Protein backbone atom coordinates (compact mmCIF):
# COMPACT_ATOMS: atom_id res chain seq x y z
CA UNK A 1 0.00 0.00 0.00
CA UNK A 2 1.39 3.38 -1.02
CA UNK A 3 1.36 6.45 1.14
CA UNK A 4 -1.18 9.05 0.05
CA UNK A 5 -0.07 12.64 -0.41
CA UNK A 6 -1.90 14.95 2.02
CA UNK A 7 -3.98 17.65 0.36
CA UNK A 8 -2.28 20.53 2.14
CA UNK A 9 1.31 19.43 1.34
CA UNK A 10 3.02 20.00 -2.03
CA UNK A 11 5.06 17.18 -3.61
CA UNK A 12 8.30 19.11 -3.03
CA UNK A 13 7.56 19.41 0.69
CA UNK A 14 6.62 15.76 0.90
CA UNK A 15 9.90 14.68 -0.69
CA UNK A 16 12.03 16.76 1.66
CA UNK A 17 14.22 19.86 1.77
CA UNK A 18 16.54 18.72 -1.04
CA UNK A 19 13.64 18.47 -3.47
CA UNK A 20 12.44 21.95 -2.46
CA UNK A 21 15.90 23.41 -3.07
CA UNK A 22 16.16 21.70 -6.49
CA UNK A 23 12.72 23.01 -7.47
CA UNK A 24 13.67 26.55 -6.44
CA UNK A 25 16.89 26.46 -8.46
CA UNK A 26 15.08 25.10 -11.49
CA UNK A 27 12.37 27.75 -11.26
CA UNK A 28 14.97 30.50 -10.85
CA UNK A 29 16.70 29.32 -14.02
CA UNK A 30 13.41 29.30 -15.92
CA UNK A 31 12.61 32.82 -14.68
CA UNK A 32 16.04 34.04 -15.75
CA UNK A 33 15.59 32.48 -19.20
CA UNK A 34 12.21 34.15 -19.55
CA UNK A 35 13.74 37.47 -18.49
CA UNK A 36 16.28 37.16 -21.30
CA UNK A 37 13.45 36.51 -23.79
CA UNK A 38 11.55 39.56 -22.49
CA UNK A 39 14.70 41.63 -22.93
CA UNK A 40 15.01 40.47 -26.53
CA UNK A 41 11.39 41.36 -27.21
CA UNK A 42 11.98 44.76 -25.63
CA UNK A 43 14.88 45.33 -28.00
CA UNK A 44 12.64 44.36 -30.93
CA UNK A 45 10.05 46.92 -29.80
CA UNK A 46 12.74 49.59 -29.61
CA UNK A 47 13.82 48.79 -33.18
CA UNK A 48 10.18 48.98 -34.29
CA UNK A 49 9.92 52.47 -32.78
CA UNK A 50 13.08 53.49 -34.65
CA UNK A 51 11.62 52.00 -37.84
CA UNK A 52 8.41 53.99 -37.34
CA UNK A 53 10.40 57.20 -36.98
CA UNK A 54 12.57 56.42 -40.01
CA UNK A 55 9.54 55.50 -42.11
CA UNK A 56 7.93 58.82 -41.21
CA UNK A 57 11.04 60.72 -42.27
CA UNK A 58 11.41 58.75 -45.50
CA UNK A 59 7.72 59.12 -46.32
CA UNK A 60 7.70 62.83 -45.59
CA UNK A 61 10.83 63.28 -47.73
CA UNK A 62 9.14 61.54 -50.66
CA UNK A 63 5.98 63.59 -50.12
CA UNK A 64 7.92 66.88 -50.10
CA UNK A 65 9.72 65.90 -53.29
CA UNK A 66 6.47 65.05 -55.06
CA UNK A 67 4.55 68.04 -53.65
CA UNK A 68 7.10 70.63 -54.78
CA UNK A 69 7.25 68.96 -58.19
CA UNK A 70 3.44 69.07 -58.35
CA UNK A 71 3.36 72.78 -57.43
CA UNK A 72 5.93 73.58 -60.09
CA UNK A 73 4.09 71.68 -62.82
CA UNK A 74 0.43 72.39 -62.01
CA UNK A 75 0.53 75.99 -60.92
CA UNK A 76 3.37 77.33 -63.03
CA UNK A 77 5.59 78.14 -60.09
CA UNK A 78 8.71 77.44 -62.11
CA UNK A 79 10.43 80.67 -61.13
CA UNK A 80 9.29 80.77 -57.50
CA UNK A 81 10.40 77.22 -56.71
CA UNK A 82 13.77 76.12 -58.01
CA UNK A 83 13.80 72.60 -59.41
CA UNK A 84 16.33 71.43 -56.83
CA UNK A 85 14.32 72.73 -53.85
CA UNK A 86 11.95 69.79 -53.54
CA UNK A 87 14.63 67.32 -54.50
CA UNK A 88 17.06 68.61 -51.88
CA UNK A 89 14.48 68.66 -49.08
CA UNK A 90 13.21 65.21 -50.09
CA UNK A 91 16.66 63.69 -50.30
CA UNK A 92 17.67 65.32 -47.02
CA UNK A 93 14.71 63.97 -45.07
CA UNK A 94 15.01 60.54 -46.68
CA UNK A 95 18.74 60.41 -45.95
CA UNK A 96 18.06 61.43 -42.35
CA UNK A 97 15.52 58.59 -42.07
CA UNK A 98 17.99 56.13 -43.56
CA UNK A 99 20.70 57.30 -41.17
CA UNK A 100 18.44 56.90 -38.14
CA UNK A 101 17.40 53.45 -39.35
CA UNK A 102 21.00 52.36 -40.02
CA UNK A 103 22.06 53.42 -36.53
CA UNK A 104 19.07 51.58 -35.06
CA UNK A 105 19.92 48.40 -36.97
CA UNK A 106 23.56 48.49 -35.88
CA UNK A 107 22.56 49.14 -32.27
CA UNK A 108 19.95 46.36 -32.30
CA UNK A 109 22.34 43.86 -33.85
CA UNK A 110 25.07 44.67 -31.32
CA UNK A 111 22.59 44.33 -28.45
CA UNK A 112 21.37 40.95 -29.71
CA UNK A 113 24.96 39.71 -29.89
CA UNK A 114 25.65 40.84 -26.30
CA UNK A 115 22.40 39.23 -25.11
CA UNK A 116 23.28 35.93 -26.85
CA UNK A 117 26.74 35.97 -25.27
CA UNK A 118 25.20 36.58 -21.85
CA UNK A 119 22.76 33.69 -22.37
CA UNK A 120 25.61 31.35 -23.41
CA UNK A 121 27.55 32.39 -20.31
CA UNK A 122 24.59 31.71 -18.03
CA UNK A 123 23.93 28.37 -19.74
CA UNK A 124 27.57 27.41 -19.37
CA UNK A 125 27.36 28.04 -15.63
CA UNK A 126 24.12 26.04 -15.43
CA UNK A 127 22.01 29.01 -14.34
CA UNK A 128 19.68 28.96 -17.33
CA UNK A 129 18.15 25.91 -18.98
CA UNK A 130 19.10 25.30 -22.60
CA UNK A 131 16.80 27.12 -24.98
CA UNK A 132 15.73 26.38 -28.48
CA UNK A 133 17.66 28.33 -31.04
CA UNK A 134 15.29 30.99 -32.22
CA UNK A 135 15.34 32.13 -35.82
CA UNK A 136 16.78 35.51 -36.67
CA UNK A 137 14.82 38.58 -35.73
CA UNK A 138 11.94 39.19 -38.14
CA UNK A 139 11.98 42.84 -37.11
CA UNK A 140 15.63 43.09 -38.17
CA UNK A 141 14.72 41.65 -41.58
CA UNK A 142 11.93 44.21 -41.99
CA UNK A 143 14.32 46.98 -40.98
CA UNK A 144 16.73 45.92 -43.73
CA UNK A 145 13.87 45.94 -46.26
CA UNK A 146 12.90 49.45 -45.16
CA UNK A 147 16.53 50.52 -45.51
CA UNK A 148 16.62 49.20 -49.09
CA UNK A 149 13.35 51.00 -49.82
CA UNK A 150 14.77 54.26 -48.50
CA UNK A 151 17.87 53.91 -50.65
CA UNK A 152 15.67 53.21 -53.69
CA UNK A 153 13.68 56.38 -52.89
CA UNK A 154 16.85 58.47 -52.82
CA UNK A 155 17.94 57.01 -56.16
CA UNK A 156 14.52 57.84 -57.58
CA UNK A 157 14.65 61.43 -56.34
CA UNK A 158 18.25 62.11 -57.28
CA UNK A 159 18.46 60.50 -60.73
CA UNK A 160 14.86 59.61 -61.61
CA UNK A 161 15.69 55.92 -61.71
CA UNK A 162 13.63 53.22 -60.12
CA UNK A 163 11.16 50.44 -60.70
CA UNK A 164 8.32 52.76 -61.74
CA UNK A 165 10.27 54.82 -64.24
Q: What is the pLDDT of residue 146?
A: 93
CA–CA separation, 78 and 151 (whole Å): 28
- pTM, two decimals, is 0.73
pLDDT (mean) for 95-117? 93
Q: Which range, 4-13, 28-37, 74-83, 111-120, has the best average confidence (pLDDT)?
A: 111-120
pLDDT tens string 39-72 = 888 889 999 999 999 999 999 998 988 888 787 7
Rg (C-alpha) for the chain, rounded Å, is 27
DSSP for 95-141, please give it. Answer: HHHHHHHHHHHHHHHHHHHHHHHHHHHHHHTTSS---PPPPPPHHHH
Question: What is the number of alpha carbons within 13 Å of residue 60 lying toward its C-beta?
Answer: 13
CA–CA separation, 96 and 65 (whole Å): 14
Cβ atoms of 145 and 58 within 8 Å: the answer is no
**Is the model's pLDDT at 28 over the cut of 80?**
no
Amino acid sequence: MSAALPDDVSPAEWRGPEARADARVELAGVRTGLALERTRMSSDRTLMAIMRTALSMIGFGIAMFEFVDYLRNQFGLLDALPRAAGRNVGIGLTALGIGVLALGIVSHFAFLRRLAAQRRDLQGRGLVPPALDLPGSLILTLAFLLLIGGIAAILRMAWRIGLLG
